[in-house]
Amino acid sequence: GKALGRGHIRRFETHMATQAVRQLELERDLRSALINQQFRLVYQPQIALSTQKLIGFEALLRWHHPERGEIRPCDFIPFAEQTGIICAIGEWALDQAIAELSYWDQSGLPLVPVSVNVSALQLEIPSFADSVIERLNLLPVHLRSNIALELTESTLMQNQALESIQALCAADIPLYMDDFGTGYSNLSIISQLGLSKLKFDRSLIQNVPNNNAHQKVCSALLDLAGALELEVIAEGVETPEEAQWLLEQGVLYAQGYWFCHPLESAQVVHYLKEHQP
């Protein structure tokens, strides 16, 4: 009884210590990842459903860890948010997307908007909006409106976040509401943000042609988007049936494995040559 209990506690403590060490390692590794250029962006095409033409790219973060290989964003972004490192990573991602967009443009490739994910934490930094606007002002005028920001609904709770969004909107930066349809939506706030697009979460789209409940929720949210005069990008479209159903509902844009997986930046160059927007 007692001996077993103590053994159990010891194992538990060892487990806790191992966890703590792993977290410290992850924090150290995330910090050095920025310095050692282990991050890169991949770009997923966004498509007009009626013409199948390219309308933009979403920039998605990738981390190549020297020992552990590729680590998925869902395995490090929550931790990067807890520790605040996400702010530095987010700045890097914005700069990188701007640099790659400029490079494609200078190479004579067709120009389409690139949307960059912004963490809730970044919006809570009072200087965030100004720093984004400053960066964009360094760009040639024709490129400026081609960087969009993807925001999530959880960001809408804080006053500072709202102020940041208002400043970004006043500077005419296209703003997309990400993961729409998950969790709590403050519709009165959403309607006042000056958003340009709503991104419908993958969970709403998944299997929608065969799921009556999903169809009802999806249709209701589409009516809402229409009432707010916001264009919709459906995320996570994996089948032609899903694409067809969305097209029939009047959804303009989509993104998902059915159209294209996220592309390495070198692949984007070929993609842009073959898929003129």
Torsion of CA 57, 61, 66, 67, to 10 degrees: -110
How much helix, strand and coil, in percent to the nearest 5, is found in the chain? 55, 20, 30
Contact between 100 and ligand C2E by CB under 6 A: the answer reads no
Pick from 117, 122, 155, 255 the residue near Ca ion by CB under 5 A.
117
> Which one, of 275, 273, 263, lies nearest residue 104 by Cα?
273
8-state DSSP, 180: E
73 binds, among ligand C2E, Ca ion, none (CB under 5 to 8 A by kind): ligand C2E
44 binds, among Ca ion, ligand C2E, none (CB under 5 to 8 A by kind): ligand C2E
8-state DSSP, 158: S
Minimum Å distance from CB 152 to ligand C2E? 7
Contact between 153 and Ca ion by CB under 5 A: the answer reads no
Minimum Å distance from CB 202 to ligand C2E? 6
Contact between 46 and Ca ion by CB under 5 A: the answer reads no
Minimum Å distance from CB 124 to ligand C2E? 13
Q: If you search the block for the tokens 């692949």, which residue do you land on? A: 267
Query: CA 116 → CA 26, 92, 137, 178, distances in Å?
Result: 24, 11, 17, 11
Residues found near ligand C2E in the complex (CB under 6 A)? 44, 60-61, 72-74, 77, 86, 90, 93, 117, 119, 178-179, 202, 236-238, 255-257, 262
Residues found near Ca ion in the complex (CB under 5 A)? 117, 150, 178-179, 235
